[in-house]
A = this chain, B = another copy of it.
Amino acid sequence: MDSTDIKFNPAMLSDRKKLILKAVVREYTATALPVGSAAIVKNYLPDVSSATVRNELASLEGLGLICQPHTSAGRIPTADGYRLFIDFLAEKRRLEAAEMIEIQNAMQQPITRFDSILRDVSAVLSELAGSASVALSPRISRFRIKSIRLVRLDSFNLVLIVFSEGDNVKHSHIKLEFPADEALVGAISTALSREFTNIRMEEISEEGFIRIMSAFRDSPELVGKILKLIIRAARDSADIGVTVSGTEHIFDFPNFLNIAGAKEFYRLLSDGAALRSIIAPHLKSGVSVILDSESGDGRLSGLSVFACRYLADNSGILAIISPMRCDYEKILAVMDYAARHLSRLVGRDSGKQMIIRRGGVMTTIL
């Protein structure tokens, strides 16, 4: 879905038609009522008569940009109408200072956990947009491991810690059925570190483990069992993380006056894999908007998805899902601001370096 299949471009429309389409979108998103010719004359085009506007409206309807919910009602924008509005007519809006601060606050946390920043940003976005918001965490399996440690808590309990790019820390608790002593655990930890540092999680192979095994010929059984648990732990933490916020807003979506649809949509929201595969093909640079059935997935009909990438090549996605009737200019501004600052927060400069700027202080890690 690239820019070649744009159905409409603004050259097709007279300035007055553009103004009227804009008026229909703005008025409808504000009032939730079909927009009649009289309202447009009153608020946007006081110098012409309603009959003129009616003629223009009929013409816009002929182009498929607006429609009537029923004969003798006002007009509402179609998906194509919204599309044209978003691509060519929407004006860039500035956020309120308070809103900007709220977004920034979500990103400034003393203890660095990318998860937690993501959760907070997502929560703020959903609040500002009055919509549901989803953050799909990057595939951590694609992150390079910066550091891996096996720590002994007591004879029967170990913790595997994986520290990866993006300041991600994961721990997995490993419970043994047999005691392991400090020296052995330390040796395994060192071996793991030697073998897997600077490797992507998805590149961890059996061979690496076999190499480690061979270094522990004196207690192969014990080490073998530990490694088996470690493999499982690593796999376990490789799944896709989905952070959903603002689910309560869907109760306000006019789409879900019928409970059945709400339930289905609610299910979709917690299915990270599905969301990713729906959204990913439509992503371009900056904020993408996927309207109604443009996604090809019926569960999103009547809805708009605002999405953008963060951490460019690791497929983390931030998204806001709204009813199709929403304040596009506002939500675009919110998303744009958040995406811009999130990228600034975690800017990738080279393959191995990662610059973190935080509250004025700038630190270069590893």
A residues in contact (CB < 8 Å) with B: 110-113, 146-147, 149, 151, 153-157, 159, 161, 163, 167, 169, 171-175, 177, 229, 232-233, 236, 247-248, 251-252, 256-257, 259-260, 262-263, 266-267, 361, 363, 365-366
Residues of the B chain whose Cβ atoms lie less than 8 Å from the Cβ of A156: 363, 365
Q: Give the docked Cα–Cα distance between A260 and B256 (Å).
A: 12
Q: Give the docked Cα–Cα distance between A149 and B153 (Å).
A: 8
Question: Do residues A248 and B229 form an inter-chain contact, with CB atoms below 8 A?
Answer: no
Question: Do residues A174 and B111 form an inter-chain contact, with CB atoms below 8 A?
Answer: yes
8 other contacts beyond A157-B167, A252-B259, A252-B263, with CB at 8 A cut-off? A111-B236, A146-B153, A146-B154, A147-B153, A151-B151, A155-B366, A247-B266, A257-B259
The 3 closest A-B pairs by CB, nearest first: A251-B263, A147-B153, A112-B175
Residues of the B chain whose Cβ atoms lie less than 8 Å from the Cβ of A256: 259
Measured CB to CB, the nearest residue on chain B to A366 is: B154
Taking the closest CB of chain B, its distance from the CB of A71, in whole angstroms, is: 29
Question: Do residues B157 and A111 form an inter-chain contact, with CB atoms below 8 A?
Answer: no
Question: Do residues B159 and A161 form an inter-chain contact, with CB atoms below 8 A?
Answer: yes
Measured CB to CB, the nearest residue on chain B to A150 is: B151
Taking the closest CB of chain B, its distance from the CB of A330, in whole angstroms, is: 22
Measured CB to CB, the nearest residue on chain B to A160 is: B111
Measured CB to CB, the nearest residue on chain B to A156 is: B365
Measured CB to CB, the nearest residue on chain B to A263 is: B251
Question: Do residues B161 and A169 form an inter-chain contact, with CB atoms below 8 A?
Answer: no
Residues of the B chain whose Cβ atoms lie less than 8 Å from the Cβ of A236: 111
Q: Give the docked Cα–Cα distance between A363 and B156 (Å).
A: 9
28 A-B contact pairs sorted by A residue (CB < 8 Å): A110-B229, A111-B172, A111-B173, A111-B174, A112-B175, A113-B173, A146-B154, A147-B153, A151-B151, A153-B169, A154-B163, A154-B365, A155-B366, A157-B163, A157-B167, A157-B169, A159-B163, A159-B171, A167-B173, A177-B361, A177-B363, A247-B247, A247-B266, A248-B263, A248-B267, A251-B263, A252-B263, A256-B259
Q: Give the docked Cα–Cα distance between A177 and B266 (Å).
A: 42
Residues of the B chain whose Cβ atoms lie less than 8 Å from the Cβ of A266: 247-248, 251
Question: Do residues B169 and A159 form an inter-chain contact, with CB atoms below 8 A?
Answer: yes
Question: Do residues A259 and B251 form an inter-chain contact, with CB atoms below 8 A?
Answer: yes
Measured CB to CB, the nearest residue on chain B to A260 is: B251
Residues of the B chain whose Cβ atoms lie less than 8 Å from the Cβ of A262: 251
Residues of the B chain whose Cβ atoms lie less than 8 Å from the Cβ of A174: 111
Taking the closest CB of chain B, its distance from the CB of A279, in whole angstroms, is: 21
Residues of the B chain whose Cβ atoms lie less than 8 Å from the Cβ of A149: 151, 153, 159
Question: Do residues B177 and A173 form an inter-chain contact, with CB atoms below 8 A?
Answer: no
Taking the closest CB of chain B, its distance from the CB of A185, in whole angstroms, is: 12
Residues of the B chain whose Cβ atoms lie less than 8 Å from the Cβ of A267: 248
Measured CB to CB, the nearest residue on chain B to A259 is: B251
Residues of the B chain whose Cβ atoms lie less than 8 Å from the Cβ of A363: 156, 175, 177
Question: Do residues A175 and B167 form an inter-chain contact, with CB atoms below 8 A?
Answer: yes
From B113, B147, B232, B247, contact of A154 by CB (8 A): B147
- With A154-B365, A266-B247 as known contacts, state yes or no: A171 contacts B169, CB within 8 Å: yes
Q: Give the docked Cα–Cα distance between A110 and B177 (Å).
A: 11
Taking the closest CB of chain B, its distance from the CB of A193, in whole angstroms, is: 10
Residues of the B chain whose Cβ atoms lie less than 8 Å from the Cβ of A111: 172-175, 229, 232-233, 236
Residues of the B chain whose Cβ atoms lie less than 8 Å from the Cβ of A247: 247, 266
Q: Give the docked Cα–Cα distance between A55 and B283 (Å).
A: 69
